């Protein structure tokens, strides 16, 4: 058996087409979705991500603002810029690109973003709403939200399924657990302190395995339940410069569905960022998308 590849690029393309229509509908009502991305320093990976976000926002004709600040930027200067965008009615979504230089307090920056403009869904208020499954409009971390879109697109059952989430970051693992719980999955959260034998045992039981730790081959073929769905969020650079995920290539021979790296989760993160920017613009103006 060879797993079916979940084509993230194709799903993202369809999502972007829907977002473009929604953006056009808002623009016709006098609301141009506004996205502000702040990048501090010159991290190469961050530069690529920001460039891709800027390109996609341009295609969708957003009011796209990218502010690149030097590594020497102070906490006071960064917080002042966030405050400015908080007050700008033409900016509906604010994203501060992570990681920040070591001398900056990322937690304070996240908490400084107006929760209604927190397009990354990292503010404690938005995380609380997510974990409480509150029936309100609020942003959710883009990668987990994009993964849910992928699972729904492929009509992969979630309710009642055993899901193993490997990785407990605030950006992926924790919000992913909440989203899955909210759709009635039985979720196990593993992390760097989970023993190798226990991780293998948990993985073998899981109907869906989601991996986001940045460690190549942490999930191998012998750890995969036959027919399981594998979502690989990892993005690692091999010695030859090629990208690889957290899941061994041989897992494709056991799984039922699997995401490729690249071309799986990555495109969905950016497409979801655009989707959520339009949603935030609509919500802030009392409109529906």
Residue 266, pLDDT score: 94
Position 43 scores a pLDDT of: 87
For residue 61, what pLDDT is reported?
Answer: 94
- The answer to whether 13 is a known catalytic residue is no
What's residue 46's pLDDT?
A: 87
**CB neighbours (10 Å) of residue 202?**
18
Q: Among the options 22, 97, 275, 279, which is catalytic?
A: 97
- Average pLDDT value for residue range 224-253: 94
- From the CB of residue 150, how many other CB atoms can be counted at a distance below 10 Å? 23
Is residue 249 annotated as a catalytic residue, yes or no?
A: no
Annotated binding residues, as ranges? Answer: 167-169
Whether the per-residue pLDDT at 123 is higher than 80: the answer is yes
* Per-residue pLDDT at 114: 98
What span, in angstroms and rounded, lies between the C-alpha atoms of 189 and 234?
16
Q: What is the pLDDT of residues 78-109, one digit of tens each?
A: 999 999 999 999 999 999 999 999 999 999 99
Q: What is the pLDDT of residue 185?
A: 98
In tens, the pLDDT along 1-32 reads 799 999 999 999 999 999 999 999 999 999 99
142-266 CATH fold: Rossmann fold (3.40.50)
Annotated binding-site members for NADP(+)? 167-169
* Annotated catalytic residue, options 53, 145, 174, 225: 53
Residue 78: per-residue pLDDT: 98
pLDDT at residue number 265: 97
Task: Specify whether 97 is catalytic.
Answer: yes
Instruction: Tell which CATH architecture fits domain 30-114.
Output: 3-Layer(aba) Sandwich (3.40)
pLDDT category, 237, cuts 50, 70, 90? confident
pLDDT at 238: 84
Three-class DSSP labels, the chain:
CCCEECCHHHHHHHHHHHHHHHHHHHHHCCCCCEEEEEEECCCHHHHHHHHHHHHHHHHCCCEEEEEEECCCCCHHHHHHHHHHHHHCCCCCEEEECCCCCCCCCHHHHHHHCCHHHECCCCCHHHHHHHHHCCCCCCCCCHHHHHHHHHHHHCCCCCCCCEEEEECCCCCCHHHHHHHHHHCCCEEEEECCCCCHHHHHHHHHHCCEEEECCCCCCCECHHHCCCCCEEEECCCEECCCCCEECCECHHHHHCCCEECCCCCCHHHHHHHHHHHHHHHHHHHHCCCCC
pLDDT at 108: 98
The 10s digit of each residue's pLDDT in 136-190 is: 899 999 999 999 999 999 999 999 999 999 999 999 999 999 999 999 999 999 9
CA distance 215 to 261: 13
Query: Could you state, in order of their start, the residue ranges of all structural domains in the chain?
Result: 30-114, 142-266
pLDDT of residue 149: 98
Predicted pLDDT at 221: 98
Partners of 164 in the β-ladder: 188, 209
Token look-up 């909440």 returns: 178
Average pLDDT over residues 206-220: 97
pLDDT at 214 (0 to 100): 93
30-114 against 142-266: fold identical: yes
Catalytic residue among 120, 207, 232, 246: 120
Q: Residue 127: its pLDDT value, please?
A: 97
Section 216-221 average pLDDT: 97
Using the predicted structure, report yes or no on whether residue 47 has a pLDDT greater than 90: no
CA neighbours closer than 13 Å in the CB half-sphere of residue 167: 22
């Amino acid at each position: 058996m060879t797993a079916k590849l979940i084509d993230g690029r194709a799903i993202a393309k369809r999502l972007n087409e829907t977002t473009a229509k929604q953006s056009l509908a808002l623009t016709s009502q006098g609301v141009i979705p506004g996205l502000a991305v702040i990048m501090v320093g010159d991290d190469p990976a961050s530069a690529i991500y920001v460039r891709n976000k800027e390109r996609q926002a341009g295609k969708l004709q957003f009011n796209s603002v990218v502010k690149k600040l030097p590594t020497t930027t102070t906490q006071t200067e960064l917080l002042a810029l966030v405050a400015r965008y908080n007050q700008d009615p033409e900016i509906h979504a604010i994203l501060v690109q992570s990681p920040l230089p070591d001398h900056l307090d990322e937690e304070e920056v996240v908490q400084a973003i107006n929760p209604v403009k927190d397009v990354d869904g990292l503010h404690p208020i938005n995380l609380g709403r997510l974990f409480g499954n509150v029936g309100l409009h609020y942003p959710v971390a883009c990668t987990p939200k994009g993964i849910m879109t992928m699972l729904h697109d492929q009509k992969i059952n979630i309710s009642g399924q055993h899901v193993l989430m490997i990785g407990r970051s605030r950006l992926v693992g924790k919000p992913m657990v909440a989203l899955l719980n909210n759709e009635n999955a039985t979720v196990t959260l593993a992390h760097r302190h989970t023993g190798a034998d226990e991780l293998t045992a948990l993985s073998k039981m899981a109907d869906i395995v989601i991996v986001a730790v940045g460690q190549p081959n942490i999930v191998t073929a012998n750890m995969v339940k036959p027919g399981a769905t594998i979502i690989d969020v990892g993005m690692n650079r091999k010695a030859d410069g090629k990208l690889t995920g957290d899941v061994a290539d041989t897992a494709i021979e056991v799984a039922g569905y699997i995401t490729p790296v690249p071309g799986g989760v990555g495109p969905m993160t950016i497409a979801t960022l655009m989707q959520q920017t339009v949603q935030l613009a609509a919500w802030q103006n009392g409109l529906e998308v």
